[in-house]
Structure 1
Amino acid sequence: MEQKLRMTCFVANEHEAVENTFFAVKKLPKKVKPESTSALKYIAKYCDSPIVLFSQKPEYLRFSEDSAKRLEDLFVSSKALIAYSDYSDEHEDGSITSHPLIDYSSGSVSDSFEFGKAIIVSVDAIKKFVSESNKSYSFAGVYAFRLWASRKGKILHIAENLYTAVQEDKRKSGQKQFDYLNPQLHRRQKEMEAAFTEYLKDINAYISPAQIKPVDFSKDGGFKYEASVVIPVRNRVRTVADAVNSALSQKANFDFNVIVVDNHSTDGTTETLEKLAKENPRVVHIIPERKDLGIGGCWQLAADDERCGRFAVQLDSDDIYSDNNTLSKIVSRFHRTHAAMVIGSYRLVNFELNTLPPGVIDHKEWTSANGRNNALRINGLGAPRAFYTPMLREIRFPNTSYGEDYALGLAFSREHYLSRIYDVLYLCRRWEDNSDAALSQEKINKNNAYKDSLRAAEIEARKKINAK
């Protein structure tokens, strides 16, 4: 290649390097945060090429001559405003693994959407954005720009490994998933929420506080039980008795039961539950006729059962409530707020109940005024989750084993109030067999794509409400 490519690479000041001889590499000034509006303004002013390769991450990146040209050529021919590609991870032992990413869609609105270690961007698009925007963000500048770009043009995913990144963050996926809840990042979260709220208003998908419909519990015809603790389970003989006994130990001035949906366990869980059901008539042990149910399908089976109470309250088979007042607190909150869904806070612990980082997960980024909008941006709603059963029977769970609760939360929040309890109600146990402690990249991609599809559908539903 006789001449350098048309793109210039801008990196954070602390960035180690981008290895190549095919395009210029420049560092942002130390005082300029790479995710800020100021970074975009700096690039718009000082970039002397039509295309910028922008890296906000501190990893060492390596491009070949062919891959750099391929990246630029595909970007130019697509006429996209932003593009990103799959890449390869280089590990400490020198091994290389592929790091595939997912396509960008109308539901890819989470600020944690994974673009990889670098994006390629039209400098004209950056200049247009900074000239139009009257906002200045320290943390949400690039996020606001890509939301803007998604309305103005194409965001292209190139499904080819076009560079290698020396892996810096070696934590498992189960540790990374809570980064956005770090209380030290509160200002960042508020900026992301502000940028996203403006985007929802721009696309006519914003739901105002005035659009909330309180739930009238007096019209449901009455229930034998005020509440049911619902425990879906498969092969948790080590923990399920703890969960059931935690539910049975709840103190309440109302009748409640415990519905356990045993999804064809083979490890002794079924026998444990049969014994518990014989010892206590409040334990309802259900084995589905179907063998294709996910967690959502098991939840729906419990909600549709005539023995299900007015409020269906979550307890996973690995976990326990923090004390014997959890159920009363949740039911009281329903009646006080007329919410369709109540969500508590939980503490991450190991099997010996010792606290694990980051500790308490309370989702204090949620606000009564804007939580229903911000729910589309964040990756989860928290636990324990409790639902008004008549609405579960109407809206219904998707038959999945990931994101089923998030799907319900988005649908419920479209028109109804979601109430939060910031006290720790729940101990979420992480242990060696826990299913979400560490996931493959392919599984992470599948989960993220599914949540993006939920967000896309919900955004369209809210647009239709506002169009009436």
Structure 2
Amino acid sequence: HPGRVRDNMDFGRVFFVRTQAARQVGGFSAEYPHGYLYDFRLRMSEKFDLRLISNRYSGALYEVADRGKEHNVFDYLLSSKEVQQEMERIVTAHLQRIGAYLPPGGYEKVTYTPEEEAAFKDCLASVVIPVNNRPQFIGKAIESVLNQTVREVEAIVVVNGGEEDPTIGVVKSYMPGGERYRQDLPPVRLIVHDINNIGLCLNSGIQAARGKYYVQLDSDDRLKPFAVEKLLEVFDSDPHVGMVIGSYEVWQLEDDGRYYRREDIPVVTHDEWTEENGRNNLLRINGAGAPRSAHIKVLREMGWFSVNDIPYSRNYGEDYEMVLKVSEKYRIGRVWEPIYEVVRHSGGTDHAIDQETIDRNDNAKDHMRLEAIRRRQELNRKRGKISAQD
């Protein structure tokens, strides 16, 4: 379907191409030494159907040598800037041809009444932490919120493992009556569900929030002390900014308790995002960065996070979909210095992911891209009508 526009789509190693169709689209382009196949596939998809013969149903038609490569969520960091820029040019040209390209600018402002602003006097940012059965990690995540240089914050922990989840006891220790509670620190609040649905957790936490802004924090990760301060600086710099995305370091937590920065992985800045073309290039790649923060009223306007109602989505990609939606109307601000620590550990959800899960997750994001392309085509159709009338 037209949503399959990422450049790492794996169609296998053998391709059968109708020669007449290849001639009709102009064959392979010499303009793209690295992405010639990606460009060819996108141009073919604009005029013809592409079919994948799945060995799940049809049996394998050929064999390849096993490369023995592990799944690595940071693989994209190894691609050179030259390759990344070439791939961006390819997907941008494709979006222009199919009417889904969004030009720079044209953002709307996020506005508040004086009464709305007054309500945020005591709380500017609500950090929402969804968690399931992670009592060994949640304390450090909460403490990273309590240690923020901006004091007008709150931590909202949404436990989705039900009342028996051992995480609850740790969270309550930071609340009034708990041994870690301190009155001079930002408040910690607790919401409990018995449904393991990340979108539901995020929505319930945000809808209960007192803050003006939502800040994302995974239960096994940590905010740097100045994270909220840096996010607010970007929001304050431009009323057109609906969301701010930071940069992060990757840290390793070993089973023996050793905690250290992964020097083999550079700071993840997602600098393939540019002011001019970031929201178009986002359709090519699988992520935008962390942490993510947004005006809560913008999230409400977007209809909140999806709750596994996207095809193939199982607690995956709801944040990516939200960035796509927000970027279509508001500017996405960036913090290029690291303000977040992603913690890798043996129990992490991306530590030993199997191929079936990888395929399902890719399909989920491809459907999100499909919906985004349709929305953008509709936006451009409406803008075209307005221009014609003017």
* Pick aligned residue for 1:209 from 95, 104, 119: 104
Structure 1 unaligned residues grouped into runs of 5+: 1-104
Change (3 A) 1:271 1:167: same
Deviation of 1:464 after TM superposition, in Å, equals: 0.5
Aligned position for 1:374:
281
String of CA shifts for 1:385-436, please: whole Å, max 9, x gaps. Answer: 1111011122210114210100100000111111111101111011010111
Matching residue's letter, 2:188: V
**Pair 1:264-2:161 in alignment:** yes
Matching residue's letter, 1:159: S
The CA RMSD over aligned residues, in Å, is 1.9
**Pair 1:467-2:365 in alignment:** no
* Pick aligned residue for 2:20 from 97, 107, 124: 124
Change (3 A) 1:433 1:192: same
Aligned position for 1:448:
362
Deviation of 1:129 after TM superposition, in Å, equals: 2.9
Matching residue's letter, 2:282: A
String of CA shifts for 1:68-106, please: whole Å, max 9, x gaps. Answer: xxxxxxxxxxxxxxxxxxxxxxxxxxxxxxxxxxxxx21
- Partners in 2 of 1:426 and 1:270 — Cα distance? 24
* Pick aligned residue for 1:389 from 296, 307, 313: 296
Structure showing the higher strand proportion among its residues: 1
String of CA shifts for 1:7-58, please: whole Å, max 9, x gaps. Answer: xxxxxxxxxxxxxxxxxxxxxxxxxxxxxxxxxxxxxxxxxxxxxxxxxxxx
Check the 8 A contact 1:260/1:283 in 2, yes or no: no
Check the 8 A contact 1:220/1:390 in 2, yes or no: no
- Partners in 2 of 1:164 and 1:256 — Cα distance? 56
Change (3 A) 1:298 1:219: farther
Deviation of 1:317 after TM superposition, in Å, equals: 0.7
Aligned position for 2:188:
284
Matching residue's letter, 2:278: G
- Partners in 1 of 2:63 and 2:361 — Cα distance? 24
- Partners in 1 of 2:266 and 2:345 — Cα distance? 15
- Partners in 2 of 1:433 and 1:334 — Cα distance? 35
Check the 8 A contact 1:264/1:287 in 2, yes or no: no
Q: TM-score when scaled to structure 1?
A: 0.72
* Pick aligned residue for 1:326 from 227, 246, 260: 227
Aligned position for 2:138:
240
What pairs with 1:49-448 in structure 2 (closer than 5 Å)?
A: 105-130=1-26, 136-160=31-55, 161-171=60-70, 173=71, 175=72, 177-182=73-78, 185-218=80-113, 221-222=116-117, 223-224=119-120, 225-252=123-150, 255-264=152-161, 266=164, 268-278=166-176, 279-280=181-182, 282-288=186-192, 290-305=193-208, 307-322=209-224, 324-338=225-239, 339-351=241-253, 352-355=259-262, 357-395=264-302, 396-400=304-308, 401-448=315-362
Change (3 A) 1:303 1:141: same
Check the 8 A contact 1:398/1:404 in 2, yes or no: yes
Check the 8 A contact 1:205/1:462 in 2, yes or no: yes
- Partners in 2 of 1:414 and 1:402 — Cα distance? 21
Check the 8 A contact 1:350/1:356 in 2, yes or no: no
- Partners in 2 of 1:331 and 1:347 — Cα distance? 20
Deviation of 1:179 after TM superposition, in Å, equals: 1.9
- Partners in 2 of 1:149 and 1:398 — Cα distance? 32
Check the 8 A contact 1:349/1:359 in 2, yes or no: no
- Partners in 1 of 2:28 and 2:264 — Cα distance? 41
Check the 8 A contact 1:360/1:424 in 2, yes or no: yes
Structure 2 unaligned residues grouped into runs of 5+: 254-258, 309-314, 383-390
**Count of residue pairs brought into register by the alignment:** 355
Larger radius of gyration: 1
Matching residue's letter, 1:216: T
